[in-house]
Amino acid sequence: MKPVKEKKERALGIKLFLKAERCNSPKCATVRKPYGPGMHGQKRKRMPSDFARQLKEKQKVQLLYGLNNRQVMNLFRKSSPAEIFSALERRLDRVAYYLGFAASPRIGRQLVSHGHITVNGKRVTIPSYRVKVHDVISIRPESRSGKLFEGLDERLKQQEVPSWLKFTIENLSGECIAEPDLGGAQVPFDISLVGEFYSR
C-alpha cells in the first residue's frame, strides 16, 4: 500500500516535502509518477471548475500545515492574505523545520508536541504556537542526543533559513527577527483562491 501522504501530494500535483529526505530523492512519488493516483490518474485531462481549483488550494493548506477544515476556515474568514501567511509560517512546528531542527514539517510537529523544542528557554508543546519577533527557538538540551536529531549537523550545513529568521550554529538556536513577507515568498498555494472557497 502506498503512503497516504504521497497519494495526496500526487492528487494535488505539487511536492510539499512531507516525507523528509525522500522528497529530495528520485524515490519521491511526485517525481516517479507526476500524475494523479488511481487507475485513471493519467487520463484526467478535463479543465477543473472554479470550485475544484478553490478546493485544491484549500487542501494544499491543510496538508502542508497539518490543519483541519475548521482551523483553515477560521483563519481565512478573519484575516487579510498577509496576516494569514504570517500566521501559518510563524507556527512553531514550521519554524523548527525552517531552522533545520526537523527534516520535514511533519517531523517538526512531532518534535514540538513531544516537548523537544523551547521558545525563550521554555518548553512549548503546541505545534500551532505562533512565534513572535525576538523569540528565540532552540532544541531542548536534554533532547539533543535523541534519535530524532541524528544527522542534525549535516542537515544544518545544507539548510537555507528564510530571511525573517536568524540561525546561530554555535548554540543551535534561531531567532525570529521579522514578520514573514508574503510579497517576497514562494507560496505553494493560492491564498486568494482559498479565500474565495470560504467566501461562497
Alpha-carbon distance values, 130 to 3, 84, 119, 147 (Å): 30, 12, 10, 26
Alpha carbon 24 to chain centroid, angstroms: 15
What pLDDT was estimated at residue 188? 84
Out of 11-20, 25-34, 100-109, 120-129, the most confident range is: 120-129
Q: Which three cell numbers stand for residue 137?
A: 527557538
Mean pLDDT of the chain: 84
4-87+187-199 maps to which CATH number? 1.10.1050.10
HSE-up of residue 142 (Cα within 13 Å, Cβ side): 7
Q: Indicate where the chain has its CATH 1.10.1050.10 domain(s).
A: 4-87+187-199
CATH fold, domain 91-176, is 3.10.290
> Above 60 in pLDDT, residue 138?
yes
What pLDDT was estimated at residue 1? 36
